[in-house]
């Protein structure tokens, strides 16, 4: 019984670890998606056919999506400029949900699952945008180094 109570206490005191692990996993997933789009540009262009008929839009969108997923995913994985990296992803996921997957949701199970997954990723990115990087991030390390007085644990008041 004592072990369960200790484990429960550890989980409550280290709750931000779960968000950090989710941020790292999401960052790796976004980088993998960028590599997939780079190696399967025909698939990406096929998705863009449903968006509209502007001839330059697919090329611009492909570059934006790949760069945002690749560098944003790297930043999310490392926890560097985390909020900005998550915010850059939001227009991509909103567009994917409403312009790419929603019109085909009724006709295909695959489109419905893709929309549900895009919605989950969108929710997690919003959560990261609000919460920030967490303790296991370069943002935390850099902030701690810059403002050491704010992170002091001794009872002496911090001098600002």
What is the pLDDT at residue 156?
Answer: 60
Q: How far apart are CA 103 and CA 80, in angstroms?
A: 35
What is the pLDDT at residue 155?
Answer: 64
- From first CA to last CA, the distance across the chain in angstroms is 44
CB atoms inside a 10 Å sphere around CB 53: 6
Structure tokens at 121: 């990723």
With pLDDT > 70 as the criterion, what percentage of the chain qualifies? 81
Mean pLDDT across the stretch 17-35?
A: 93
What is the pLDDT at residue 153?
Answer: 65
Contacts of 119 (CB under 8 A, 6+ apart): 97
Q: How far apart are CA 148 and CA 59, in angstroms?
A: 46
Taking CA atoms, 123 is separated from 49, 71, 87, 97, in Å, by 26, 20, 12, 12
How confident is the model over 41-90, as pLDDT tens digits? 888 777 777 655 566 677 788 889 999 999 999 999 999 999 999 999 99
Contacts of 141 (CB under 8 A, 6+ apart): none
pLDDT confidence bin for 130, thresholds 50/70/90: very high
Q: How far apart are CA 74 and CA 71, in angstroms?
A: 5
């Amino acid at each position: 019984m004592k072990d369960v109570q200790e484990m429960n206490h550890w989980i409550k005191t280290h709750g931000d670890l779960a968000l950090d692990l989710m941020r790292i996993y999401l960052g790796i997933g976004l980088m993998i998606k960028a590599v997939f789009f780079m190696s399967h540009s025909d698939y990406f262009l096929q998705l863009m056919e449903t968006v509209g008929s502007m001839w330059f839009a697919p090329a611009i969108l492909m570059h934006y999506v790949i760069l945002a997923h690749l560098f944003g995913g790297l930043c999310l994985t490392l926890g560097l400029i985390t909020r900005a990296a998550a915010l850059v992803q939001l227009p991509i996921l909103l567009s994917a949900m409403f312009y790419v997957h929603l019109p085909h949701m009724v006709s295909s199970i695959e489109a419905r699952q893709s929309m549900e997954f895009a919605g989950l990723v969108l929710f997690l990115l919003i959560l990261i945008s609000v919460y920030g990087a967490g303790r296991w991030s370069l943002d935390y390390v850099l902030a701690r180094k810059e403002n050491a007085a704010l992170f002091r644990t001794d009872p002496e008041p911090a001098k600002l």
